[in-house]
Amino acid sequence: MRLSVLDQSVAIAGRPQGQSIRNTVALAQHCEALGYDRFWVSEHHNHPTIVGTAPEIVMAAIAAKTERIRIGSAGIMLPHYSAFKVAEVFRVLDALAPGRIDMGLGRAPGSDGRTAFALNPKANERPEYFPSDVRDLMAWVQNEPLVDGHPFASLQAFPQGETSPEVWILGSSDYGAQVAALFGLPYCYAWFFSDGAGGQRAIDLYKRTYRPSARHPKPHSALCVLALAAPTMEEAQYHFTPRALSRINRDKNILGPLVSPDEAAAAPLAPHEQARMAEFRKDSFVGTGPEVMGRIEGLRDHVGVDEMAVVTWAYDEEVRRQSYTELARAGGFS
């Protein structure tokens, strides 16, 4: 079972937001010791719940604190940036951790519209250039020629080296699946983001239209799910309550730090919100380690992907670390 981690540096009520970033680095060390395959960090902007705004910097910090685990972005929101600059950043990351860097790319803004314009004044037009930006970025980061006639064909992204980052396309729609298939790249579907809606279709489309590349002659796919494991189902559901409430609040455009399980349990909810929370609990991967791992493996086999990744939110950092420990034991790789 190849199992990886996505961490989003979630803000916790009553604690400095900087601690969330430091917890991400410490969690990467913990997950490396447990035997996880990859550790990815996300990019969000102007988001009071998710404070991981610069995955490339967090990746550098993780690289300095780990030795084996692969480190990746999930993802770099490419329309905000120059493809050449992203290539330079990831060439530096590869120099810090040769052969361990995953460059996950996304097309979504990871923010609201106003914030997208603050990041890039051409926010309206840049997403349509995503395929060509991916093409150019791949060439620069792998030190390969750009297409004939490219105005920047003479540029190189330094530092050069014997290894190069592994490029992934990330998404929650058919679009990312098609881009990944076009360029012969691995593809990860954000199952947790869409509650799985459209996931099977996107993976099937990716496999059906895949064009082999030199680095990846066969399609390689993954899913990322929301999960929390504890010694008992009751404990797992208790600690999952803040995440479930956060989802209800997000649907109402109420964003904020994760509160304690007791505060979340005491929050007043309308009947339809209680029903929505119950549905969210049922759809999420919550329970004992063997129960959660069984559902993860079942989904992997049902959809037909090569890898799975897990994202876990918890008010108590030790609970989160224990969750990854429970899954590693259940998966037999700890």
Tell the burial category of 151 from Cβ atoms under 10 Å away from its Cβ (0-12, 13-18, 19+): exposed
Cα separation, 122 vs 295, whole angstroms: 42
Q: Work out the percent of the chain whose per-residue pLDDT is above 70.
A: 100
State the pTM of this model: 0.96
Mean pLDDT to the nearest integer, 150-169:
97
Are the C-beta atoms of 86 and 78 separated by less than 8 Å?
A: yes
pLDDT given at position 283? 87
pLDDT given at position 148? 95
Cα separation, 233 vs 326, whole angstroms: 12
Give residue 304's pLDDT band: very low, low, confident or very high (50, 70, 90). Answer: very high
Instruction: Map out the domains of the chain as residue ranges.
Output: 3-234+285-331
Q: Is the pLDDT of residue 146 over 80?
A: yes
Q: Is the pLDDT of residue 11 over 80?
A: yes
pLDDT given at position 111? 83
From the options 3.65.10.10, 3.40.30.10, 3.20.20.210, 3.20.20.30, give the CATH code of 3-234+285-331.
3.20.20.30
User: Which residues have a Cβ under 8 Å from the Cβ of 77 and sit 6 or more positions away?
Assistant: 43, 106, 107, 108, 109, 110, 111
Give residue 321's pLDDT band: very low, low, confident or very high (50, 70, 90). Answer: very high
CA dihedral 66, 72, 78, 83 (to 10 degrees): 60
Look over the chain and give the mean of its residue pLDDT values, rounded to a whole number: 96
Give residue 196's pLDDT band: very low, low, confident or very high (50, 70, 90). Answer: confident
pLDDT digits (tens, 9 = 90+) for 198-245: 999 999 999 999 999 999 999 999 999 999 999 999 999 999 999 999
Cα separation, 202 vs 156, whole angstroms: 34
Beta-strand ranges (E) seen in 184-220 are 187-189
pLDDT digits (tens, 9 = 90+) for 39-98: 999 999 999 999 999 999 999 999 999 999 999 999 999 999 999 999 999 999 999 999
Q: Is the pLDDT of residue 175 over 90?
A: yes
pLDDT given at position 194? 81
Tokens 């999930």, residue?
A: 74
Q: Is the pLDDT of residue 274 over 90?
A: yes
Tell the burial category of 253 from Cβ atoms under 10 Å away from its Cβ (0-12, 13-18, 19+): exposed
